[in-house]
């Protein structure tokens, strides 16, 4: 076993990740609940729809990565929380829109009927729009730090979710359906539709802790590789797990003739690629000299997850 894999295992066993995830999820849920208008606030339909998807039981991995990065850099959870929640709002908006008939046309997400199935397509589009806007309202609450002005935080979120990253990934994904694409094209899609927002989560955590430029660079490398590994695992789970376990329709990629790592290189090689990407993520944390244990543990968890 390589040294990095050995230390991955050690980190996972010594750190109480379940407790960290329970606490971070509770803090994120409380902050989101306070930030969003109540279900009764007029117009009630839109606030019900926003809350329906936001509190449907997502894994809250992006906020956890944001808070873990802040912790690794010696920051305060209170400073990182609005940003962790902002990223979750953007993530949830992207899922609502991705599930629409005009895109992936999915009936289930997070173990429940998709937003448009419950509220109709018009309201689902608006719920996604409102969550994206809510993200920037949350980000507006952070005060900025000596190394990172308020505008750096806003830019970070805007760039990760804009037409060069998240949306670019979705466009390339849509245009790639049913067509033969290269592994390089697949990497382009994964970098944008998945890795960009995960990387942004980690970077925002570091920025909220006023981290040094060297640490931000290390976090960027970590987030980039964890993000890529996350999508390779997501593709593997799509063909190896049931819809019940995933809380979303399994086997959709094959049905839509989507390019995925399992389809292009097989399951075994895909698992190897996910492990190699996680090794690279792990190696990026070297400058933290063992103080990024929550991030290390999360990287191991994301690699070995089954849903």
Footprint on this chain of ligand GRG (rule: CB under 6 A): 58-59, 61, 91, 94-95, 97-98, 110, 166-167, 169-170, 193-194, 231, 234
* Residue 220 beta carbon to ligand GRG: minimum distance, rounded to whole angstroms: 18
The DSSP annotation for 78-147 comes to HHHHHHHHHHHHHHHHHHHHHHSTTTT--SEETTEE-HHHHH-HHHHHHHHHHHHHHHHHHHHT----SS
Nearer to ligand GRG, 27 or 170 (CB): 170
* Residue 73 beta carbon to ligand GRG: minimum distance, rounded to whole angstroms: 23
* Residue 62 beta carbon to ligand GRG: minimum distance, rounded to whole angstroms: 7
* Residue 65 beta carbon to ligand GRG: minimum distance, rounded to whole angstroms: 10
Q: Which two tokens stand for residue 60?
A: 């809250």
- How far apart are the C-alpha atoms of 276 and 225, rounded to whole Å? 9
Q: How far apart are the first and last CA of the chain?
A: 26
Residue number closest to ligand GRG, CB atom? 58
Give phi and psi for 214, each to the nearest 5: -65, -40
* Residue 254 beta carbon to ligand GRG: minimum distance, rounded to whole angstroms: 14
Nearer to ligand GRG, 197 or 219 (CB): 197
Nearer to ligand GRG, 208 or 260 (CB): 260
Nearer to ligand GRG, 25 or 208 (CB): 25
Nearer to ligand GRG, 62 or 215 (CB): 62
Nearer to ligand GRG, 59 or 271 (CB): 59
Whether the CB-CB separation of 30 and 4 falls below 8 Å is answered with no
* Residue 6 beta carbon to ligand GRG: minimum distance, rounded to whole angstroms: 27
SS3 helix, strand, coil % of the chain, rounded to 5? 75, 0, 25
Cross-strand partners of 113: 108
Q: CA dihedral defined by 30, 36, 59, 1, rounded to 10 degrees?
A: -80
């Amino acid at each position: 076993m390589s040294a990095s894999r050995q230390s991955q295992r050690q980190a996972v066993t010594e750190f109480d990740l379940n407790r960290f995830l329970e606490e971070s999820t509770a803090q994120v849920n409380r902050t989101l609940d306070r930030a969003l208008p109540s279900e009764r606030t007029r117009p009630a339909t839109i606030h019900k729809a926003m809350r329906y998807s936001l509190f449907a039981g997502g894994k809250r991995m992006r906020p956890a990565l944001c808070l873990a990065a802040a912790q690794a850099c010696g920051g305060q959870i209170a400073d990182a929380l609005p940003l962790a929640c902002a990223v979750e709002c953007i993530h949830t908006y992207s899922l609502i829109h991705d599930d629409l008939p005009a895109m992936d046309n999915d009936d289930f997400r997070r173990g429940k009927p998709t937003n448009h199935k419950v509220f109709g397509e018009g309201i689902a589009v608006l719920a996604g729009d409102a969550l994206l806007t809510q993200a920037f309202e949350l980000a507006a609450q952070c005060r900025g730090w000596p190394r990172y002005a308020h505008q750096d935080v806003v830019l970070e979120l805007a760039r990760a979710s804009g037409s060069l990253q998240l949306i670019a990934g979705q466009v390339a994904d849509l245009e790639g359906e049913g067509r033969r694409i290269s592994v390089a094209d697949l990497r382009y899609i994964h970098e944008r539709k998945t890795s960009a927002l995960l990387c942004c989560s980690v970077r925002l955590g570091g920025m909220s802790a006023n981290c040094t430029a060297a640490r931000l660079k290390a976090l960027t490398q970590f987030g980039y590789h964890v993000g890529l590994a996350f999508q390779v695992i997501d593709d593997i789970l799509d063909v190896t797990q049931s819809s019940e376990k995933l809380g979303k329709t399994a086997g959709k990629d094959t049905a839509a003739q989507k390019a995925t790592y399992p389809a292009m290189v097989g399951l075994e090689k895909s698992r190897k690629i996910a492990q190699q990407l996680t090794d690279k993520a792990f190696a990026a944390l070297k400058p933290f000299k063992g103080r990024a244990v929550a991030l290390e543990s999360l990287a191991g968890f994301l690699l070995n997850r089954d849903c």
